[in-house]
């Protein structure tokens, strides 16, 4: 069978060629580089602004950016060189992306509870407000683009990184509400509440990503002979010849 010949292994599974898969892998790698660039700036600005303003939510948002940046590094690694067609690299990347969700939750959850109990009042942060507004616009575009790639490639690791980008957008929206409310009416407690939301959502997303939910039937390898047994989720199963 030639390298360009597609193969369908079961009814409902997607058909894909090596050339198409390699093209999609390059796009996923490019999107991850773009994410890494934004996350580097976002994380540095958010953490600095959060420390200056005493905002747990803003610091937590910055730490989330660091975690997402690490996830981007993992995806860049996964789709570089011989690992493009490696099922072992895909599984390893999936677990690494998932594990990074759990790095965020304990710190942010603890600090948020401490801030609520101690009635700590964060200062107004115009920089934080502008940063959150920018993330609300940028992150959904990156997350949805990666989700579409994950559907076609059958890559749980790519979907996990896309979920992190969408999570960042949701958290940016919640952070924006909290920062604006604190600036407008002195609703200091919203900062800690948003921090708890960040921690809770990070745990949920980490569990789903670890299980590979959304791309459980993917087998995008020339040497992976097992046919997918189930495609009950919303991610297409793919195979290469």
Please report the pLDDT score of residue 13 as a whole number: 45
For the chain, 241 residues long, give each residue's pLDDT as a single digit of tens: 444 444 333 334 456 788 888 899 999 999 999 999 999 999 999 999 888 888 777 887 888 788 888 889 999 999 998 898 888 888 888 888 778 778 767 777 776 787 677 665 667 678 888 888 898 999 999 999 999 998 888 888 888 888 878 878 877 887 787 778 777 777 777 767 777 887 787 788 778 777 765 444 444 444 433 433 333 444 444 444 4
> What confidence score (pLDDT) does residue 128 get?
84
pLDDT for residue 62: 87
Q: Among 155, 2, 23, which residue's Cα sits nearest to residue 91?
A: 155
Sign of the C-alpha dihedral, residues 213, 219, 224, 228? positive
């Amino acid at each position: 069978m030639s390298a360009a010949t597609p193969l369908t292994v079961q009814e409902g599974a997607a058909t894909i060629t090596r050339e198409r898969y390699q093209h999609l892998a390059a796009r996923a790698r490019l999107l991850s580089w773009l994410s890494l660039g934004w996350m580097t700036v976002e994380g540095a600005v958010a953490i600095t602004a959060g420390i200056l303003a005493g905002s747990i939510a803003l610091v937590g948002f910055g730490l989330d950016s660091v975690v997402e940046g690490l996830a981007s590094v993992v995806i860049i690694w996964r789709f570089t060189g011989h690992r493009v067609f490696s099922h072992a690299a895909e599984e390893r990347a999936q677990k690494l992306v998932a594990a990074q969700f759990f790095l965020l939750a304990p710190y942010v959850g603890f600090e948020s509870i401490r801030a609520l109990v101690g009635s700590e009042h964060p200062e107004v942060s115009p920089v934080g407000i502008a940063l959150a507004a920018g993330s609300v616009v940028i992150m959904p575009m990156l997350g949805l683009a990666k989700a579409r790639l994950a559907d076609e490639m059958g890559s749980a690791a790519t979907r996990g990184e896309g979920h992190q980008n969408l999570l960042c957008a949701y958290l940016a929206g919640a952070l924006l509400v909290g920062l604006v409310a604190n600036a407008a009416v002195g609703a200091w407690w919203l900062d800690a509440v948003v921090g708890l939301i960040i921690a809770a959502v990070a745990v949920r997303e980490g569990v789903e990503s670890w299980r590979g939910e959304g791309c459980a039937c993917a087998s995008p390898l020339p040497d992976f002979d097992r046919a997918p047994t189930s495609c009950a989720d919303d991610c297409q199963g793919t195979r290469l010849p």
